[in-house]
């Protein structure tokens, strides 16, 4: 398989982005697809835990630390300002679909990334719609409650788990890459 299908869920804080990604992971993995999820974490110096052995290795100068348990492998690269491209390189060949939360400026302008826009307020949604290059396949978040139809985009009700149209768009993109039938 060549590069995975990349789907970004973009929006401000408290707009149900994480819930949309959870729903997509559940649905896509139930179809037998391998899924990676990546989140850009703002304003955090380290995702490692200060005082733990892995943190101490990095503090001592290791540029790459790998933590391995019976059921997980974690890769921590220190001193690297990783963008979306680096994330995609890490997961290349490992998964069918990559779900992204964050990297807003990178994903909104990328025409190869499927987008779901999430918003709490109409103003936020308008701003996202103005900046997002196609393909945009769905709208999620509290703003959906006040909408009835929006340019043929799927309106995602996370409380009901209504995400079928987005899943279909992902399957269509996978078929176009020859990854699924």
Distance CA 14, CA 62 (A): 36
Q: Among residues 35, 28, 45, which one has the least CA distance to residue 100?
A: 35
Q: Are 121 and 143 in contact (CB under 8 A)?
A: yes
Domains of the chain: 5-40+83-176 (3.40.50.300), 43-80 (no CATH)
Ranges under pLDDT 50 in the chain: 1
The token duo for 12 is: 């401000």
Distance, CA of 82 to CA of 47 (rounded, Å): 13
Cβ neighbours, 10 Å, residue 12: 16
- Per the listing, tokens 């503090």 go with 59
pLDDT digits (tens, 9 = 90+) for 91-142: 888 999 999 998 999 999 999 999 999 999 999 999 999 999 999 999 999 9
pTM (2 d.p.) = 0.86
Q: Are 155 and 147 in contact (CB under 8 A)?
A: yes
């Amino acid at each position: 398989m060549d590069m995975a299908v990349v789907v970004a869920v973009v929006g401000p804080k408290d707009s149900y982005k994480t819930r949309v990604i959870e729903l997509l992971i559940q649905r896509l993995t139930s179809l037998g697809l391998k899924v990676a999820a990546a989140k850009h974490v703002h304003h955090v110096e380290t995702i490692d835990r200060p005082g733990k052995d892995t943190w101490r290795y990095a503090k001592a100068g290791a540029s790459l630390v790998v933590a391995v348990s019976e059921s997980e492998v974690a890769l921590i690269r220190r001193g690297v300002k990783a963008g979306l491209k680096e994330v995609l390189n890490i997961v290349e060949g490992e998964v069918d679909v990559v779900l992204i939360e964050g990297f807003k400026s990178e994903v909104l302008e990328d025409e190869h990334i499927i987008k779901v826009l999430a918003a709490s307020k109409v103003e936020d949604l308008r701003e996202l719609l103005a900046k997002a290059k196609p393909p945009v396949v769905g709208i999620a978040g509290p703003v959906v409650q006040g909408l009835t139809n929006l340019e043929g985009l799927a309106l995602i009700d996370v409380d009901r788990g209504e995400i079928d149209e987005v899943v279909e768009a992902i399957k269509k993109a996978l078929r176009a890459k020859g990854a699924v039938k």
